[in-house]
Structure 1
Amino acid sequence: MKLADAAPEPSASTEQFTVRLSSTRRGARLARRLTAERLAAWGIPYDSEASHAAAAVTAELTANAITHGRLPGRDFLLSLARLPGAVRIEVTDTRPERLPKAAATPPTALDALEAETGRGLLLVAAYAAKWGCQARDAHTKTVWAEITHPS
């Protein structure tokens, strides 16, 4: 698994997009759609592998934020940054005590199919060049992933 404790923040010269969305299924759907739209605006086509991967990762990270990281009345934050050869996706929620756990070894395909939960971060790990999580303060945590794309 490619979980990392921390990764460099995007530099000030990168293109960035940030939006606060409601911690609801509608907010998560909107995050996925906005990710595809922003990547297209940055020249990464809708039908490209990178766009599909970024949308899938965004869907998983936002689903986790609204399921496991939600506090009533608190939103989540979606941030995208275009890096050289990659797109960084960050989802910040309000439950820093609930950090994702990286499995020591990936489950077998049968275990993953039979499990009721826990498959999502396997999807993130499969699509992302690297990913991680950090609690930046006492009130929030950010889970991030970087998806590579041809420059």
Structure 2
Amino acid sequence: MTPHSTERTLPAPVTVRVFSERFRSTRRGARLARCLAVHQLQAWGIRSDTVLSHDAALVIAELTANAVTHGRLPGRDFALTLTLAPDTLRIEVSDTRSERLPPTPATEPPPLSESGRGLLLVQSLATHWEVHPRTPVGKTISAHLPIPR
């Protein structure tokens, strides 16, 4: 390249992959979301026997179970979106209950409680997780998992 040249070196393109689907707000819908997500990760080259695939399946299982248990409104679906970037897998689960927000950060339930530990699992696996309002109604919970190098 000469000093008067107008050519510039562009950075290498970054590939970001996205999978998004709506599911019925039932236990079966939550199970289907987890299975399809693991299948999609395999299609993107993330084998099912990897730590990332296992961690993603656990996070998806927890967030979708919460969506159908705590975020369900009759006749309304929940949505799962996976975004694979070079350094992060972002998992988003959206439901239709704006008024039922999880505690952030997740808190330890009473010792004999039979529930309430799932978000602690999400918190331990994800680099971070957060809750976003959704327009016109609902919320989205996102968790970010690091891509191992």
TM-score by length of 2: 0.84
Q: Distance in 1 between matches of 2:63 and 2:29?
A: 12
Q: Distance in 1 between matches of 2:56 and 2:15?
A: 21
- Tell me what 1:93 maps to: 95
Change (3 A) 1:103 1:144: closer
- Tell me what 1:120 maps to: 118
1:65 to 61, 64, 67: 67
Aligned residues, how many?
136
Question: 1:42: how far off?
Answer: 1.0
Query: In structure 2, what residue type is equivalent to 1:134?
Result: H
Q: Distance in 1 between matches of 2:79 and 2:127?
A: 22
- Tell me what 1:4 maps to: none
The question of whether the paired residues in 1 share the 8 Å contact of 2:15 and 2:85 is answered with no
Which has the greater radius of gyration? 2
Query: In structure 2, what residue type is equivalent to 1:140?
Result: G
Does residue 86 of structure 2 align to residue 84 of structure 1? yes
Q: Unaligned regions of 5+ residues in structure 2, if any?
A: 1-13
- Tell me what 1:41 maps to: 43
Q: Deviations 1:36-71 (Å, cap 9, x if unpaired)? A: 111111111100000000000000000000000000
Change (3 A) 1:94 1:149: same
Question: 1:19: how far off?
Answer: 0.4
Percent of pairs identical after alignment? 52
RMSD: 1.8
- Tell me what 2:26 maps to: 24
The higher relative CO (CA closer than 8 Å, separation ≥ 6) is in 1
